[in-house]
Every structure is written in structure tokens, then in C-alpha cells.
């Protein structure tokens, strides 16, 4: 089955909101969602960029925006116990998890982070183990093996960067990249076969010289 | 008439695309568009943030995204002669322009930047003067007075920052802020009276402690 790659980090509320939508979208187009856990902080570090939560005015806006979008989508959305938090254990646990159980595990980890009244956070090994166990995965074994998935997470993050990814969520299908919750409509238009910008059109923009630079 | 404030910089293709939509939206809700030219670089400097054009992977994506969105909106979109370019003269010219002529001037300046085959750029005083004159404004007088609008542009940018604005386009109506082309649908829902996040909901997010920080 053709893949729809979904790069994400649990730290991102937009990744959570997009995750609630991506399976329906993939099914409508006969695609198989391939979750790709990446470290958002690694993307930011590589691109020398601040994250939204690191700019106070943007942080305040972003949460309001997510509350609005969650209401429109009709999905639960609430504050995790802390933010930003350490997503490393949860991301590595997904890498350590058998492929056929990953969707259920990600569902549980996202729900425990952003999913409403039960938001309990996912930076504690016992919580991650319990969430996994509730979904038919041996939680203690998963947490014990998460440490060995360090390299897998690092490789996935580096590979995302090499494919042009600079933020999450990022969706890739049939060679095209879409970034952000707000691009799901454009992804769907692409999958329906609507015309896309061609290489020449894009090159016209990228070839333009800069005549100004911030100091 | 109640105002819909539209903060923008000509440097932003998303501000151009949003400008093509904002008047129709404002009319549907009996609002009067109040254009607020601000220096995007000033917002970035204040927030210590990189602009999209300063991150190569994001720059490539952004132009493609704009091409896609322009096609969906059915508006012309093409590369300006250079990018990033110096928007100072054009922004100051809008500040120096009589209020009743501003919409026509902004239309002309945006069209000359992003608006299709005729994109000629707006960093040259003769071009700005010609665009103004074509719209019934004394172009030479406008360009001559633009220099005296330095302080007005700086004040507008500072005022935007003080109201929580961190990017363009930014729309404000009835005390609510919306950021980005992608938020026009949320702005319209707000204006139609759909429920908004309340202060308590938002505070729940903002009050959460950070338990991780990038190094």
C-alpha cells in the first residue's frame, strides 16, 4: 500500500490535531499512514530557529489558535501538565514499538498529552509503560528498550531534515511535502489530482536574488 | 464603522494573499479595513526570530505553498524581481498617503510585488511614484514625503508588538487577534459569533510550567 508519511513530535499541539485527522484522510485516498517520530528540537537546532513556545507572544497565540481549531474539528484539547516537556522517552518508545502497534501507542501518548481532561503528561516512564500496557503492548519491556532506540530517533530526525522538513507535523505522499495542520486541505487537493506548482514556477521564486538582509 | 485592522508588510506573500481576501470578508461583516503597514523585520528583531526566507528549507516550501494557495484562491501570484527586498520606502509611502487613497495604493504596491506577470518590484522610488500616480495620487509628492513617515512606521511596528503581534498578516477585530492567511476562516467564524476560547481555558495553557528547554 502506498505510504503517507507523518513526521511528528508529541511536543506539538498541531501534530496532535493533525494526527486526529490524518487517518481519515489517508483512508479516503487508499494510503497507509507511516508515523515518523522526530525530535522537533533537533529540527529547530538544525535550522537555527526558535520554536513557537520560545516566543512569548507566539506561545500565547498558538494555544488560543489550537483551542479554536480543536473546537472546529470537534476533538478534545487541553493543557498537558507541563510544556515544553521532555518528549524523548515517548518518541523513542514509538521507535521501539512493533510496527503494527504503533498507531495505538501514538493514540495513547497523544491523548495523554493533549487529549482533554485526562491529560497526564508522558515524560514519566511509568506513565508511558501504563499507556502502552493499556493498548496491549508490554509497557515495561517497551520502556526498557526505548533507550536502545536513541539512534533510530536521531536517524529519523536527520532523514527528515535531509528531505526538507523544518517543522511538525509534516506529511509526505507521492513525493510531495506538506507542512502543518493548515496544509491538510492542500494535501487532500494534491491527492485528488489537482494541479501542482511545477519545478519551473518554483525555481522562478528560488532563483530571485536577495536585495535586502536584516542586520 | 467598526474596524478590522490589517497589519502587513509588502515583503510577505501571505500578506498579499490575505489582502486579496480581507475586503470581501470585512464587507460580509460590516467592518472597515484599517491597513496598518509594519516592518516585518522589526517584529522578527524584537522576537529574536528568523523569518521564513532566512531558513532555506522553509523558503523553498513557503513559495510552493503560496503558489498552491493562490491557485485555490484564484488570484495571480508570481515572483518579485528580488526577495527579500527593501520594503521601507513602500511602507512609509502608505503611511504618508491620505487615508482615503491607501487601499488603492496598497493594491498597486502588492500587485507590483506579487501580482503576476507585471511584478516589477517596489524598492525603486520611481516605481513607487508611478504606481501612486496611476491611482490618482501625486506620486512625486508622495515619495518626497515618505521619508518623513519614518517615525509613523516605527510607531506602528512598536504598537503592533505591544498588542502581541509577532508576524504578518495579522488581523484584529473586536479585541481578537488572528495571525496568518490560514486564520481567515477562524476570523470569519469569530465574526459570525461562534464561541471563542475563554480566558480561563487559555490561562490553563499559559500557566503550565516548562520542564524542558533546548540547550
CB contact under 8 A, B186 and A68: yes
Beta strands in chain B (DSSP E): 3-8, 32-37, 170-173, 176-179
pLDDT of residue B118: 66
| pLDDT tens track for B165-183 | 999 999 999 999 999 999 9
pLDDT of residue A118: 67
The answer to whether B150 and B165 have CB atoms below 8 angstroms apart is no
pLDDT of residue A5: 98
Nearest CA to CA, how far is A205 from chain B (Å)?
5
pLDDT of residue A117: 62
| pLDDT tens track for B98-116 | 999 999 999 999 999 999 7
- For residue A6, the cross-strand partners are A35, A171
pLDDT of residue B116: 77
DSSP state of B126: H
CB contact under 8 A, B83 and A205: yes
Per-residue burial over A11-43, b = 16 or more CB atoms within 10 Å of its CB, e = otherwise: bbbbbbbbbbebbebbeeeebebbbbbbbbbbb
Cα A108 to chain centroid distance, Å, stands at: 14
Residue that wins the pLDDT comparison between A147 and B186: B186
Dist. CA A37–CA A9, nearest whole Å:
6
> Which ipTM did the prediction report?
0.95
CB contact under 8 A, A54 and B78: no
Facing A82 at nearest CB: one of B87, B197, B209: B209
Facing B47 at nearest CB: one of A55, A79, A195: A55
Q: How many CB atoms lie within 10 A of CB A194?
A: 12
Facing A211 at nearest CB: one of B45, B82, B213: B82
Instruction: For B177, list phi and psi in degrees, rounded to 5.
Output: -105, 135
Position of cell 519614518?
B150
Pick the residue from chain B with its C-alpha nearest to A13.
B205
A85 touches chain B (CB under 8 A): yes
Dist. CA B41–CA B137, nearest whole Å:
28
Q: What percent of chain A has pLDDT over 90?
A: 89
| pLDDT tens track for A100-140 | 999 999 999 999 999 976 678 899 999 999 999 999 999 99
> B residues 21-80 near A, CB within 8 Å?
41, 44-45, 47-51, 53-55, 57-61, 63-65, 67-69, 71-72, 78-80
pLDDT of residue B214: 76
Residues of A in contact with B53 (CB under 8 A): 210
Q: What percent of chain A has pLDDT over 70?
A: 99
Facing A210 at nearest CB: one of B84, B195, B214: B84
The answer to whether A39 and B185 have CB atoms below 8 angstroms apart is no
pLDDT of residue B108: 96
DSSP state of B33: E
Pick the residue from chain A with its C-alpha nearest to B213.
A84
Instruction: For A51, list phi and psi in degrees, rounded to 5.
Output: -80, 160
Pick the residue from chain A with its C-alpha nearest to B214.
A41
Residues of A in contact with B164 (CB under 8 A): 57, 60-61
pLDDT of residue A46: 95
Residues of B in contact with A65 (CB under 8 A): 179, 183, 186
Dist. CA B24–CA B18, nearest whole Å:
11
Average pLDDT of span A160-177: 97
Mean pLDDT, 10 residues at a time, over chain B (215 residues)?
96 98 98 98 94 92 97 95 94 97 97 83 94 96 95 98 98 97 98 94 91 79
Residues of B in contact with A182 (CB under 8 A): 180, 182
Best residue in B59, B81, B166 for a mutation probing chain A (most A CBs within 10 Å): B166
pLDDT of residue B122: 94
pLDDT of residue B215: 60
Average pLDDT of span A187-201: 95
Question: Kind and range of the H or E element at B58?
Answer: helix B56-73
B164 touches chain A (CB under 8 A): yes
3-state SS of B68-123? HHHHHHCCCCCCCCCCCCCCHHHHHHHHHCCHHHHHHHHHHHHHHHHCCCCCCCCC
Residues of A in contact with B183 (CB under 8 A): 65
B13 CB-near residues (< 8 Å, 6+ apart): B62, B63, B66, B77, B114
CB contact under 8 A, A85 and B212: yes
Nearest CA to CA, how far is B92 from chain A (Å)?
16
Instruction: For A170, list phi and psi in degrees, rounded to 5.
Output: -125, 130
CB contact under 8 A, A72 and B202: no
pLDDT of residue A19: 98
pLDDT of residue B121: 85
Amino acid at each position: 500500500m502506498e505510504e503517507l508519511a507523518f513526521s511528528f513530535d508529541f511536543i506539538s499541539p498541531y501534530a496532535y490535531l493533525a494526527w486526529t485527522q490524518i487517518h481519515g484522510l489517508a483512508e479516503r485516498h487508499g494510503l497507509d499512514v507511516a508515523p515518523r517520530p522526530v525530535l522537533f528540537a533537533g529540527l529547530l537546532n538544525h535550522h537555527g530557529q526558535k520554536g513557537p513556545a520560545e516566543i512569548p507572544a507566539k506561545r500565547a497565540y498558538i494555544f488560543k489558535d489550537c483551542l479554536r481549531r480543536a473546537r472546529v474539528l470537534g476533538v478534545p484539547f487541553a493543557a498537558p501538565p507541563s510544556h515544553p516537556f521532555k518528549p524523548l522517552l515517548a518518541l523513542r518508545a514509538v521507535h521501539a514499538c512493533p510496527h503494527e502497534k504503533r498507531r495505538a501507542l501514538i493514540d495513547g501518548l497523544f491523548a495523554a498529552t493533549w487529549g482533554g481532561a485526562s491529560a497526564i503528561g508522558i515524560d514519566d516512564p511509568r506513565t508511558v509503560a501504563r499507556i502502552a500496557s493499556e493498548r496491549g503492548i508490554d509497557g515495561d519491556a517497551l520502556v526498557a528498550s526505548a533507550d536502545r532506540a536513541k539512534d533510530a530517533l536521531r536517524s529519523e530526525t536527520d532523514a527528515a531534515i535531509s528531505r526538507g522538513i523544518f517543522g511538525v507535523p509534516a506529511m509526505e505522499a507521492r513525493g510531495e511535502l506538506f507542512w502543518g495542520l493548515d496544509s491538510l486541505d492542500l494535501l487532500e487537493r494534491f491527492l485528488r489530482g489537482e494541479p501542482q506548482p511545477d519545478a519551473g514556477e518554483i525555481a522562478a521564486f528560488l532563483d530571485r536574488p536577495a536585495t535586502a538582509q536584516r542586520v
